Each structure stands twice: as structure tokens, then as C-alpha cells.
A and B are shown apart, each in its own frame.
Chain A
Amino acid sequence: MNKTVSRTPGRTWRIVFLIALLAFLYLPILILAVYSFTTSTQIGAIRGFSLQNYVTLFTMPDLRNMILGTIVLAFGSALIATVLGTLGAIGSFYSKSRFSGAMNAINQIPVVNADVVTGFSLCILLVVVLHISKDTYFPLVAGHVTLCAPFVYLSVMPRIKQMDPSIYEAALDLGATPFRALTKIVIPQIVPGILSGFALAITLSLDDYFIATYTKPATFDTISTYVVNATKGAQTTIKTALWALSTVIFLIVVLVVLGMNIRAMRAEKAVKREHI
């Protein structure tokens, strides 16, 4: 055992490698975070401390609207996608294999497809062929649901497969209606899959640029479309306010991930205690 350890490349070198890579991933965000608290308009020249960027971020109507719009769009389409995808997975699981096979295959298309193609094809169908105005938000919401629902389906399906089918049968034998058996027996067992599907749907919607670009109303912006347009020569006040936005989002992500990890660790400990 000692022999294998001594022959592996030095422990120090491995740590240096990992730290260098983490620096590559985090330094840009962290440096921007530092500068977001100053009056500097460029990286390099540190000026005085200021919260001006954060004030602008939350008071400028343009910025506030696009942040709220992004959040409402993400939660709305994630909700629709979760209902559709969950019911779809349940229905597909109990259907004949030919039907569920077809559904699995079609469900895979948006997953492997490039978002550019998904967005462009939806734009042609809904806007060019069916003449649905982008201003109705229908193409945008439909696009985001199309992006998210397949992932909900994929995260719910394994949970349904793990379920013990005899519990459902037992509920029916004991006189529950199929609907009651479904809501009281099936759904509670697949809740973890539904929740992770929902969370995944939100992150996909928040990160999307391409589908929104091809389907959104001209006057509406998500964070992604706004930032991309802003980099093409925006005012300095907006540019530096976006540094503040980047910092806020970074902190939220860190807190959420930290919270999830702590919860997972507690659950693990609880399980261990039960075993003792």
C-alpha cells in the first residue's frame, strides 16, 4: 500500500493543480465582486468603497424589471414543466411499452438537441407558421417549458421505477379509488424526483439565452439576454451594476449549495444514528 502512495505524483503537486484550477474558475468572479463595491469603472484602478452599484441594481427600473422577469419566467415555466413532466412520467410508466418507448425517445430530443435549434424551430412553428405574436409571451413560456420538462421527466422516472408496485395494489384492495391511491401513495414516494426535477428546471431556465432570444418579446429581457446585449457597448453605470448582479447571484448560489449540503449531511448523520 505504501508503495503505491510513494509512486503517485507528489501530494503537493496535486493540491497545487486543484488550487490553480479553482483559481481559474473563481478569480474572475471574485475580482469582479471586489470591484463591485468600489466606484471604479474598470478593473485595475481601485477607487473608494461604494455601494452605488447595488443601489443602481435594485432601483433602476430596467434592471429591476429584467431580474424580476427572469425569476417569474423561471418559476412559472418550471412549475408547468414539473406538472407536465411528472404526469408524463407516471402515465408513460404505466403505459404499453410501445407508447412509453416512443415517449422516452421523443423526450430525449430536446435534451440532446442544441438550444439554438430548439429555439429557432419553435420560433418558426409558433411565430412564422402559426402567427402567434411574441408579445403574448406564449412562445417564450412554451420554449422554456420545452427546455425544462424533459429533464423533469428524466428525474422523476427512476423514482417511479424504484417504487414497490404492491403498495399501490394494496391501496386499491383496501378500497381506495385509483385517484386517491395515486395522490396518497404514488406521488409521495416520488416527491424527491419531482423536487430535483423542479430545481433543475429552474436552473435551466435561469441560464437559458438561446431559446429566450428566439422567442421573447422585443421589450422583454432575461438576465442572459440583457447581459449579452449590455456587453455590446453599454453605459458604464449599467456595466458596473452588472458586476453587483454577478456578485449577488454568486452569493445566492453559494448559500443554496451550502444549505443543501448541510441538509444532506444532517440526513446522513440521522440515518447513521438510526443504524446504531
Chain B
Amino acid sequence: MHFSRKSLGIPYAVFLLVFVVLPLLVLVFYAFTNGQGQFTISNFTGFFTDPNTLGTLFYSLLLAAVTTAVCLTLAYPTAYILGTSKLKSRSVIVMLFVLPMWINFSLRITALKEILTILEGNLAMYPFLNAVIGMTYDFLPFMILPLYTTISRLDGALTEAAMDLGADRTRTFLEVVLPLSLPGILSGVSMVFLPAMTNYVVLDMLYNSTYIMGSLIGSYFSAYDWHGGSMISLILLALICIFTLLTGGSEETARGGALL
């Protein structure tokens, strides 16, 4: 039998077609049909005319934006301090910040919930605040890692050159360091923004009953409404596509880079 290295890829190619491409095609079919299998766009128009679903979309975007902003505000200085430090043990300290991402997220949120309950008394009093704290707690390591990777690789000679040429610290930071760390920022933002729109379990566990985009899919799933759920999935997929194009599709470097 003739053996070819190319043929090794065939099982995975078939796997991708069956378990990645086919489900998406089925999703499109279900999104644009009704229970009788007839073509309809009512799922689509329904989403954009119902104030409830539009409110969910708005709440998701707001929550994701605030969470991302908070994560970036906390992660950038951390990554900057660590990335520019000359400490020998800095890789150990970085590891401390990244380590929580390997602890099961539901257990970490459980721990956070117990502490927040002590601090706030009734969790239901501050739903939005708790959602932001929970998501920040969950996603912060994913923001720190790509930022640190980018900043630690910056050429120190460039900042020195900027200062030698008369730029003060603020200007050096704004015009040299910040633009050069942009790839890390984009990668970190996409690691936080998208999960923050969809990870409804964090909200559930912290007693925030407001829906985000992910919870809509969950509720359609519980109601066996495959058509409605497919449309939400498709809309979410479109948002993800737009977002990935805007940030240059740099997510895999962060999620996959954790162990490399």
C-alpha cells in the first residue's frame, strides 16, 4: 500500500467537516426555518424588534465593555511592572498571576461568591457590580498573559532612544510603549470581551438574573426551541466574526499560549 504523509490529515479534515462545518450549516438551516420546516425570517426580525432581546444584547455589550475596561486597567500596569522589571524571579511572579486560569472556574466563582456574600450581605443588591467582579476574577489572567508576553519582548533600546531624544516619560509611554504593546492589548481584549458576553454561569452563580446573550441560548435550549436558539447562536457568531476581524484574530495566541 502506498503511504503518503498528506493522507495523515484526512481523518482530522473529515472530523472538522462533520463536527465543525456541518453543525454550523445545521445552525443556519434551523435559524431560518420554523417548527414545520418552512423558511422564515421571523426568528431574525423577532430578535431585532423585541425590546427584551435588544435589551439583552445591549446589557451583554455593556457588561462585556465594562469588564474588559476593568481587566485592562488592572492587567496593563501588572504586565508593565512585570514585563519591564529586571528581577530574576519575575517568571515565578508571572506564574502566580496566570496560575488561577488552571483552577476550575466554577470552583473559583464559588469561592468568590462566599467572600462577596460576607462583604455585601445580600448578593442580589448589586447584580451588575457582582457580574463585573465575577467576570474580572475569572478572566483577568487571560488578559495579563498576552500583555506580559508583548511587553516583556519590547526592545528597551527604543524607550531609551525616545528619552535620549528628549521625550518625557509620559510621551515615551504614549508614543512608543503603548503602540508597540497594541497586539497584546487586542489579544487580551478578545480573550475577555467575547466570554463576558456569553459566560452566563458567572451571572447565575452570583444571583444576577439578568440575561446576557449566552443565557438566551441556554433558555431556548431548556425550552427545546432549536430554531430560536439557532438564531441567537448565529447572531452571536456574527458578532464574534466582526470582533475577530477588528482585533486581527489574535485570540489563539493567548488561550493556546498559556502552556507553550
B5 touching A214, Cβ below 8 Å = no
A38 interface hit (Cβ, 8 Å): no
CA–CA, A16 and B57, complex, Å: 38
Say whether B104 contacts A114, CB under 8 Å. no
Q: How many residues of A contact B (CB 8 A)?
A: 91
- Which of A47-55, A57-65, A145-153 is found at the contact surface with chain B? A145-153
CB atoms of B198 and A115 under 8 A apart = yes
Is A135 an interface residue when CB atoms closer than 8 A count as contact? no
Beta-carbon contact of A122 and B110 below 8 Å: no
Query: Is A18 interfacial (CB-CB < 8 Å)?
Result: yes
Q: Which residues of B contact A175 (CB under 8 A)?
A: none
Q: Is B204 among interface residues, defined by CB-CB distance under 8 A? A: yes
Whether A249 pairs with B8 at a CB distance below 8 angstroms is: no
Let me know if B195 is at the binding interface, CB within 8 A.
yes
- Chain B residues lying within 8 Å of A125, measured Cβ to Cβ, are 22-23, 26
Shortest Cβ distance from B11 into chain A, in angstroms? 6
Q: A87-B9, A153-B12 in contact; A227/B106 too (CB < 8 A)? A: yes
Interface of A is mostly: helix
List which B11-44 residues lie within 8 A (CB) of chain A: 11-13, 15-17, 19-24, 26-27, 30
Number of B residues contacting the other chain (C-beta, 8 Å)? Answer: 85
A179 touches B107 (CB 8 A): no
B221 touches A87 (CB 8 A): no
Any A CB within 8 A of the CB of B161:
no
Q: Does A203 contact B (CB under 8 A)?
A: yes
Complex Cα gap A142–B18 (Å):
10
* Cross-chain contact B9 with A103 (CB below 8 angstroms): yes
Residue B61 at the chain A interface, CB threshold 8 Å:
no
In the complex, whether B244 has a CB less than 8 A from a CB of chain A is yes
- Shortest CB-to-CB span from B99 to chain A, Å, is 6
**Distance in Å from the Cβ of A243 to the closest Cβ of chain B?**
8
The answer to whether B176 has its CB under 8 Å from any CB of chain A is no
Contacting B at CB under 8 A, from A91-134, are 91-92, 94-95, 99-100, 103, 106-118, 120-125, 128-129
Please give me the residue from chain B that is nearest to A226 by CB atom. Answer: B106
Q: Are A43 and B115 within 8 A (Cβ)?
A: yes
- Give Cα distance in the complex from A228 to B226, angstroms: 23
Contacting residues, chain A, for B27 (C-beta < 8 A):
117, 120-121, 124
CA of A246 to CA of B145 in the docked complex: distance in angstroms?
23
- Within 8 Å by CB of A21, from B23, B78, B258, lies B78
Q: Mark B38-80, 1 if CB is under 8 A from A, else 0.
A: 0000000000000000000000000000000000001001100
Interface residue? A22 (CB, 8 A): yes
Residues of chain B contacted by A256 (CB below 8 angstroms): 102
Contact of A253 with B195 at beta-carbon distance under 8 Å, contacts A91-B10, A149-B15 already known = no
Q: Is the CB of B103 within 8 A of A253?
A: yes
Question: Across the interface, do A257 and B23 meet the contact criterion of CB distance under 8 Å?
Answer: no
Q: Is the CB of A94 within 8 A of B6?
A: yes
The distance in angstroms between the C-alpha atoms of A253 and B20, with both chains bound, is: 31
Q: CA of A87 to CA of B74 in the docked complex: distance in angstroms?
A: 40
B8 touches A29 (CB 8 A): no
Q: Is A2 an interface residue (CB 8 A)?
A: no
Known: A106-B20, A117-B236, A124-B30. 19 other contacts (CB 8 A): A17-B81, A25-B137, A43-B117, A91-B9, A94-B6, A116-B198, A124-B27, A124-B229, A125-B23, A129-B26, A151-B252, A200-B258, A203-B102, A209-B105, A231-B106, A242-B107, A242-B110, A246-B107, A246-B111
What 6 A-B pairs come out closest when comparing CB atoms?
A91-B9, A88-B12, A121-B23, A28-B111, A91-B8, A227-B106
Can you list 19 contacts pairing A with B, beta carbon distance less than 8 Å?
A: A18-B81, A21-B74, A21-B140, A43-B117, A87-B12, A90-B9, A112-B244, A117-B236, A120-B217, A120-B230, A125-B23, A142-B19, A146-B19, A203-B259, A209-B106, A210-B201, A231-B106, A245-B107, A246-B103
